[in-house]
Amino acid sequence: MTAPQRITSAEGTALPMRGNDIDTDRIMPARFLRAVTFEGLEQHLFEDERAGSAAGDRAQATLHPFDDARFAGASILLVNRNFGCGSSREHAPQGLLRAGFRAVIGESFSEIFFGNALIIGLPCMTVTPETVSALMERVDAQADAVLRIDLGAGRCEIGDFGCTVTLPPHARDALITGAWDTTSLLLERYQEVDATAAKLPYVGGWSA
């Protein structure tokens, strides 16, 4: 068992991935779930809409952000509303994490995606739509600009632009204290789990 890793900050260049309601089928198409490990998923992010794919080549008047060399090596992902909706596949945040992303900033996230990202140590932080636009514009203008996120202070800075980033208190505390990998936490006082279960009539076979 490794010591819990405290995640207090994230720093690096950013990649703007525009659009509302980007679902996990788009982030990680289902055929890449056909494996018993998460290894190699970073190679398949948004695969079906990137250059070289049928849809990508047909629809791409502009370069897909994940194909844009300017954003190569980015560690902060910028998104819009309801990012990660749809399927509960953890393969989507796993792919992002394995591709080197250390934080996602967006207008809002699907709850399942948010939880799947948190439990693997990938913070998803929210800002206003205006702030997302401002951040995306800055990154478009200067792709090598470095974003610095301080989770505890709830601040994000890029050049001379600073903004508040929001994490629900439970997620912030979990990341900062290294309690984001919840299994150990849930096993800590297992006798209390048994006590709760014992009070549920259906667990005891209805022998009231």
Cβ at position 186, least distance to other proteins in Å = 4
Are residues 123 and 105 in contact, defined by beta-carbon separation less than 8 angstroms? no
Which is closer to other proteins, CB of 158 or CB of 174? 174
In order of 14, 26, 36, 44, 164, the CA distances from 55 in angstroms are 25, 12, 28, 15, 37
Which is closer to other proteins, CB of 27 or CB of 158? 27
Which is closer to other proteins, CB of 105 or CB of 147? 105
Which residues in 22-54 are b (16+ Cβ under 10 Å) and which e?
bbbebbbbeebeeeeebeebeebbbbebbeebe
Are residues 18 and 136 in contact, defined by beta-carbon separation less than 8 angstroms? yes
Which is closer to other proteins, CB of 44 or CB of 148? 44
Which is closer to other proteins, CB of 141 or CB of 205? 205
Q: Please state the separation of Cα 165 from the chain's center in Å.
A: 14
Cβ at position 144, least distance to other proteins in Å = 29
Name beta bridge partners: 77.
15, 104
Cβ at position 12, least distance to other proteins in Å = 24
Cβ at position 205, least distance to other proteins in Å = 7
Cβ at position 174, least distance to other proteins in Å = 5
* Overall residue count recorded for the chain in this entry: 208
